[in-house]
C-alpha cells in the first residue's frame, strides 16, 4: 500500500508546473524537483536579467536533468524576460500588421534562441487566438489579427522559428479567446459560437499550429455551450473529441493557470485549485499550471493529495495520470541556444517600423507636449514600462513629456491650450474616461495627434493618428521616430522662404 501511494504521489508531482516567488529557487521547489516535480513556470517576479535566469535554471536542473522550465514570454506587451525594460521585440498584432512571415519566423527564432540560452524549455506562446471584438478585455494586441487564415500563417511561422531553437511552443488559448467579452482570470467566458463557426474561424490557427509541429497546446478557460457547461480546460469533449480527435493533436495539453477565477472560483482559492487539477486531468489535460497567484508549498501539497485521493477513489485512473506525466516530461528537453539569429533590437525595430500606420499626420514643431495616458495593465501583461514621452524627449529635446491618468489629469487641459499635443493611449476605446480626456484635448489644443498603442479602435477626432499595434519598447520607439521626423519636416517648412518644401 505504501509503495502504491508513493508511486501515485510521484506521478502527481510529475504533472505539476508551479510558480514560486524570488529570483532563486526556494527550498520547497528544489526538494520537490528532486522528488519528481514536473517543473516550474517563471514569471516576472523571478527575473532580473538573462544571466540571472540562466543561473536560476541551472540551479533547478541541478536537482534533476529532465525539468520542464516554462515561461510566458510572448514578446510585445506580455514579456517576462524584459519585464524591467519593455520588450525589444514587438508582439503578435504588430507582426500581423507588418504582414511579413519571414519577420515573424525570425522573431520566433530570436526569442527561442534567447530562451534556450537562458535554460528555458517551454514558451507558453504564441497566442493562436483571433482579435474579434473591441470588447475583448484580455487578448487584443496578443493575437496576430482577426483574419483566421492570415493569423494561421503567422502562428505557423512563429512556431517553426521558435522550435528551430529547441524551445517547445504552446499554442493558446484553445479553442480561442478572442470572441470573449470577459476575462477568464476572474470570470467564466462563454463563447457565442457553434461548433461550425469555431471550425471556420477560431480553430483555423490551431490547425496551423498543429501542422507546424507545436509540441504543446494550452487550453483556455472558456465555455462552448454545445460542448457542455464545463470550460475547455476541464471538458473532455473539448480536449479528447475536438483537439485530439478532430484536429489530430498528439502532443502535450497544458492548462492555463488553474487558480484563475474561471475554474477555481476565485484567485487564491487553494481548494478550488486542487479540485480543478483533478477535473483537468480527467478531461485529458497533461501539464497543470498551478502557480501564477498561488505559489507556496502547502497549496502544491494539497493538489498532490487531491490527485492521489482521486486515483485511490477510482475517479481518476492511474493510466491517465501516467500518460499525463509522460507528456509533461516530453517538454523538458533543453535547446542548444546556438542558433544564429538577427540582432534583437535591429529585428524589433524593423518589425515595429513596418507595422506602423499613420493617418493625416501633420508637420509638427519640435516642441510638442507629449502626454502618456496611463491605464491599469491587464493581469496577463503586468507592470512593464510603457510610455511614448521618454522616447520623444530623447529625439526631440525641446518636447515636454507628462504622464497622467484620465481620472487625475491635473492641469493638463490648461497646459495643452493652444499647443501641439501628442497623446499616447492604450486601448482608449475600452476606457470612457480616456475618451473624455482626449476629447478635452481636441477642444483645448491647437492640434492633437493620437498614438494608439493597443488594439486600434475608432477615430477620436484628432488631427492625426498613429497606430503601433502594441506597446513594446520597439513599437513606442518607432512611433517616436515618426513624431520626430514630422517635427523635422515642420521645421523645414517653417524656415523655407519659398514655401515649396514638401
Vertex 67 angle, CA 61 and 68, to 5°: 130
Q: Which of 154, 185, 221, 391 is catalytic?
A: 185
Distance CA(448)–CA(462), nearest Å, equals 5
Neighbouring residues of 196: CB distance < 8 A, sequence distance ≥ 6: none
Secondary-structure breakdown of the chain: helix, strand, coil percentages, each rounded to the nearest 5: 45, 15, 45
Q: Which of 183, 230, 256, 275 is catalytic?
A: 256
H-helix or E-strand containing 289? strand 288-289
Distance CA(252)–CA(329), nearest Å, equals 9
27 given a catalytic annotation: no
Cell numbers at 195, concatenated: 461548433
Longest dimension (CA), the chain: 95
Residue spans of alpha helices (H) in 228-339:
236, 261-264, 270-283, 297-313, 318-329
**Under a CB-based contact definition with an 8 Å cutoff, are residues 231 and 188 in contact?**
yes
Vertex 129 angle, CA 234 and 223, to 5°: 30
50 given a catalytic annotation: no
Cell numbers at 388, concatenated: 511614448
**Residues noted as catalytic:** 185, 256
Amino acid at each position: 500500500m505504501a509503495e502504491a501511494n508513493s508511486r501515485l504521489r510521484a506521478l502527481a508531482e510529475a504533472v505539476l508546473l508551479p510558480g514560486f516567488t524570488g529570483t532563486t529557487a526556494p527550498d520547497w521547489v528544489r526538494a520537490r524537483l528532486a522528488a519528481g516535480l514536473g517543473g516550474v513556470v517563471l514569471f516576472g517576479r523571478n527575473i532580473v536579467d538573462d544571466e540571472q535566469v540562466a543561473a536560476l535554471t541551472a540551479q533547478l536542473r541541478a536537482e534533476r536533468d529532465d525539468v520542464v522550465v516554462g515561461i510566458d514570454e510572448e514578446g510585445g506587451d506580455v514579456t517576462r524576460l524584459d519585464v524591467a525594460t519593455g520588450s525589444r521585440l514587438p508582439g503578435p498584432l504588430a507582426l500581423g500588421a507588418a504582414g511579413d512571415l519571414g519577420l515573424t519566423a525570425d522573431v520566433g527564432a530570436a526569442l527561442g534562441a534567447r530562451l534556450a540560452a537562458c535554460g528555458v524549455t517551454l514558451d507558453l506562446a504564441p497566442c493562436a487566438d483571433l482579435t474579434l471584438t473591441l470588447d475583448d478585455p484580455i487578448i487584443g494586441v496578443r493575437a496576430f489579427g482577426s483574419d483566421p487564415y492570415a493569423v494561421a500563417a503567422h502562428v505557423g511561422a512563429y512556431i517553426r522559428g521558435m522550435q528551430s531553437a529547441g524551445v517547445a511552443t504552446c499554442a493558446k488559448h484553445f479553442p480561442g479567446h478572442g470572441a470573449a467579452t470577459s476575462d477568464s482570470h476572474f470570470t467564466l467566458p462563454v463563447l457565442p459560437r457553434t461548433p461550425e463557426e469555431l471550425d471556420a474561424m477560431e480553430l483555423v490557427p490551431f490547425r496551423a499550429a498543429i501542422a507546424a509541429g507545436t509540441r504543446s497546446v494550452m487550453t483556455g478557460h472558456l465555455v462552448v455551450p454545445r460542448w457542455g457547461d464545463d470550460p475547455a480546460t476541464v471538458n473532455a469533449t473539448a480536449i479528447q473529441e475536438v483537439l485530439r480527435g478532430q484536429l489530430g493533436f498528439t502532443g502535450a495539453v497544458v492548462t492555463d493557470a488553474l487558480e484563475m477565477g474561471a475554474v477555481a472560483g476565485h484567485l487564491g482559492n487553494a481548494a478550488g485549485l486542487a479540485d480543478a487539477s483533478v477535473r483537468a486531468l480527467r478531461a485529458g489535460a497533461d501539464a497543470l499550471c498551478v502557480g501564477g497567484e498561488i505559489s507556496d508549498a502547502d497549496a502544491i501539497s494539497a493538489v498532490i493529495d487531491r490527485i492521489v485521493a482521486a486515483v485511490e477513489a477510482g475517479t481518476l485512473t492511474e493510466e491517465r495520470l501516467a500518460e499525463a506525466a509522460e507528456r509533461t516530461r516530453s517538454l523538458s528537453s533543453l535547446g542548444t541556444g546556438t542558433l544564429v539569429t538577427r540582432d534583437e533590437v535591429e529585428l524589433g525595430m524593423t518589425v515595429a517600423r513596418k507595422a506602423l500606420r499613420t493617418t493625416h499626420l501633420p508637420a509638427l514643431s519640435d516642441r510638442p507636449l507629449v502626454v502618456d495616458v496611463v491605464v491599469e495593465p491587464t493581469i496577463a501583461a503586468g507592470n512593464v514600462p510603457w510610455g511614448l514621452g521618454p522616447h520623444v524627449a530623447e529625439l526631440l529635446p525641446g518636447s515636454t513629456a507628462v504622464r497622467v491618468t484620465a481620472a487625475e489629469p491635473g492641469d493638463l487641459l490648461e497646459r495643452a491650450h493652444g499647443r501641439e499635443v501628442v497623446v499616447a493611449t492604450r486601448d482608449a476605446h475600452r476606457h470612457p474616461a480616456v475618451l473624455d480626456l482626449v476629447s478635452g484635448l481636441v477642444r483645448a489644443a491647437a492640434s492633437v495627434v493620437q498614438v494608439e498603442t493597443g488594439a486600434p479602435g475608432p477615430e477620436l477626432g484628432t488631427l492625426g493618428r498613429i497606430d503601433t499595434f502594441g506597446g513594446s519598447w520597439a513599437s513606442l520607439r518607432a512611433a517616436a521616430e515618426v513624431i520626430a521626423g514630422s517635427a523635422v519636416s515642420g521645421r523645414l517648412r517653417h524656415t523655407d522662404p519659398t514655401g515649396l518644401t514638401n
